[in-house]
Structure 1
Amino acid sequence: MHRWQPKLGLIQETLLLTLYARALDAELPSPILGDRLSADLAGGIDYDFRKLKVKPNLVLTTALRAKKLDDVVRAYTAAHPGCVVLDLGCGLDTRMLRCDPPPGVDWYDIDFPEVVNLRSEHLPSRSHLVGADLTQSGWLAAIPDDRPAVIVAEGLLPFMPGDSFQMMTRQLTRHFPSGELALNGYTRFAAWAMKYHPTIKALGITAAQGFDDAHEPESWGADLELVEERILTRAPEIARFPQPLRALTRLTARSTALSRQGARILRYRF
């Protein structure tokens, strides 16, 4: 099998981290996400994934948060069959293929130009590809503005500098008549601690940001209303975690404050 080498900057290289985590999950006896295509993609890349130092906890939480965000997209596209889907910072995620939306849905995978070029070469999909720097304005001109939208931002918040995530959110909610925004919400402590995680340190990334109160985005001037804060330590899929990680996760789940430092999915209406 021919293997290809990705040429990416540090921020873009994080897509290999999440891809590899999904691939490792797919190899488990009882996977959480079970994304075989991610496993196939990772197997075709000429890259030393060992340097990412991916631990079992990261594999399982990455798979679990992807599964819960997929659930948000499936529910929204089922209720709004002619809607628009935006997957921001999509990397090499196979979300569209996992969700398999109705034919009337317009799906846009958005990332840096070099990333969408990799998608077009190595990932079969019927989505629209938009190469853009999300900290800049203007890229929304390529997106329809006359239909409701569900917007997914998985793992994006910590890597957008300053208030660029908030500015992007305001642009998005003003572009569409209505919709939902779903993201995995990092607390400030979790974002700070992430810089010292062996995997992130291995990539040399130091910038990270988050927010503690799930209602904080309601103050961004983007007309957001919190619909749901889903704490993943309490998800039923935790029963499939191996021991002792399962017991530790269930112990953590007893404390909402501690659980929020791990993984949570936030869903907003606009």
Structure 2
Amino acid sequence: MPSQQLDLSPVQETLLLTLYARAMDGKAPSPILGDTLAAAVADRIAEDTGYDFARLKLKPSLVVSTALRAKKLDDAVRQFTATHPDAVVVDLGCGLDTRFARCAPPAGVDWCDVDFPDVMELRRRYLPDRSHLIATDITTANWSDLLPDDRPTMIVAEGVLPFLSGDSFQTTVRRLTTRLRSGEFVLNGYTRFAAWAMKYDASIKALGIDAAQGFDDPREPEHWDAGLTLVSEQLLTRAPEVAAFPQPVRALTGLMARSTAMSRQGARILHYRF
């Protein structure tokens, strides 16, 4: 019998959606990310709490796109920590992401996982590791004072942008980059249309979320007064891993890849330096 319960807001519950997407990929015959730890955590949550992951209605397209974007963000983190083995990594809205375990950073790296207090309790229960847990609403002021500011910092924001209202995402990024000495910032970017369309995705509708935040021009963050300079924009429709997507997702992704404008409506990884 389930002995524990989950008490999460709709936005917080999206961590279960991405966890389950990575878990499904991890159990696939030919996984893209191969996150077996995510699969084990999802199984434990279902056993402990009785949570019905099937209610999230994950489509194959969401599973593979979630796995691919996580892989590309991991690649950026690994490259940064290899170059800066004494770096700081700040994972904004980390949820139950197993990025720390996947990236296995050098011992000199300080890794900070940041999310709501309720989410941090879940991390303590299901993902104990040596990362520093910062329990906060990332849009509040002054929590960044807890971060070391004397070393290069990699800031990661996966799946955060569309769920913050108004200019709160820009403000959060500005607070971080103006306080920290230098570093890089990577996120999965959403266009305005892609963020608007998310509201009609079956998985998002199942959680009752009104997601609608995004930006079209990858250079727009350069005008946030956050000291950001665009390094690269990766259009994931053109990633080699697409060859491992199941049909008909692979065929549809291949068609989108022919157009930069269409590709930007899918998953893209934006990489900045500050």
* TM-score of the two chains, using structure 1 as the length reference: 0.98
Residue 234 of structure 1 is matched in structure 2 by: 238
* Per-residue deviation, 1:4: 4.2
Amino acid at match of 1:213: D
Residue 161 of structure 1 is matched in structure 2 by: 165
Contact 1:158/1:207 (8 A) holds in 2: yes
SS in structure 1 opposite 2:181?
Answer: coil
* Per-residue deviation, 1:5: 3.0
Contact 2:185/2:271 (8 A) holds in 1: yes
Moved over 6 A (4+): none
What is the distance in 1 between the residues matched to 2:198 and 2:126? Answer: 29
Residue 137 of structure 1 is matched in structure 2 by: 141
C-alpha change, 1:149 and 1:155, in structure 2 (3 Å) is same
Residue 22 of structure 2 is matched in structure 1 by: 22
1:35 aligns with 2:39: no
Residue 174 of structure 2 is matched in structure 1 by: 170
What is the distance in 2 between the residues matched to 1:124 and 1:2? Answer: 21
Contact 1:4/1:44 (8 A) holds in 2: no
* Per-residue deviation, 1:175: 1.5
Q: How does 1:119-130 map to 2 (within 5 A)?
A: 119-130=123-134
Structure 1 gap segments, 5+ residues each: none
* Per-residue deviation, 1:207: 3.4
Compute the RMSD of aligned alpha carbons.
1.1
1:190 aligns with 2:197: no
Partner deviation per Cα, 1:38-60 (whole Å, 9 max, x = no partner):
00111111211111110000000
C-alpha change, 1:80 and 1:145, in structure 2 (3 Å) is same
Contact 1:87/1:110 (8 A) holds in 2: yes
Amino acid at match of 1:10: P
What is the distance in 1 between the residues matched to 2:240 and 2:126? Answer: 34
What is the distance in 2 between the residues matched to 1:96 and 1:126? Answer: 9
Amino acid at match of 2:161: L
* Per-residue deviation, 1:110: 0.3
What is the distance in 2 between the residues matched to 1:256 and 1:67? Answer: 21
Structure 2 gap segments, 5+ residues each: none
SS in structure 1 opposite 2:114?
Answer: strand
Identity %: 66
Amino acid at match of 2:104: D
Amino acid at match of 1:42: A
Amino acid at match of 1:185: G
* Per-residue deviation, 1:241: 0.8
Q: How does 1:45-64 map to 2 (within 5 A)?
A: 45=45, 46-64=50-68
Partner deviation per Cα, 1:86-131 (whole Å, 9 max, x = no partner):
0000000000000000000000000001101110111121100000
What is the distance in 2 between the residues matched to 1:249 and 1:3? Answer: 42
SS in structure 2 opposite 1:181?
Answer: strand
What is the distance in 1 between the residues matched to 2:108 and 2:209? Answer: 39
Amino acid at match of 1:43: D
What is the distance in 2 between the residues matched to 1:207 and 1:200? Answer: 8
Residue 96 of structure 1 is matched in structure 2 by: 100
What is the distance in 2 between the residues matched to 1:122 and 1:206? Answer: 28
Contact 1:3/1:44 (8 A) holds in 2: no
* Per-residue deviation, 1:204: 0.6
From 115, 119, 122, the equivalent of 1:115 is: 119
* TM-score of the two chains, using structure 2 as the length reference: 0.96
What is the distance in 2 between the residues matched to 1:2 and 1:152? Answer: 34
* Per-residue deviation, 1:189: 0.2
Partner deviation per Cα, 1:70-98 (whole Å, 9 max, x = no partner):
00000000001111000000000000000
Which shows bigger deviation, 46-55 or 97-106? 46-55
What is the distance in 2 between the residues matched to 1:62 and 1:5? Answer: 26
From 74, 78, 85, the equivalent of 2:78 is: 74
From 223, 226, 236, the equivalent of 2:227 is: 223
Residue 256 of structure 1 is matched in structure 2 by: 260
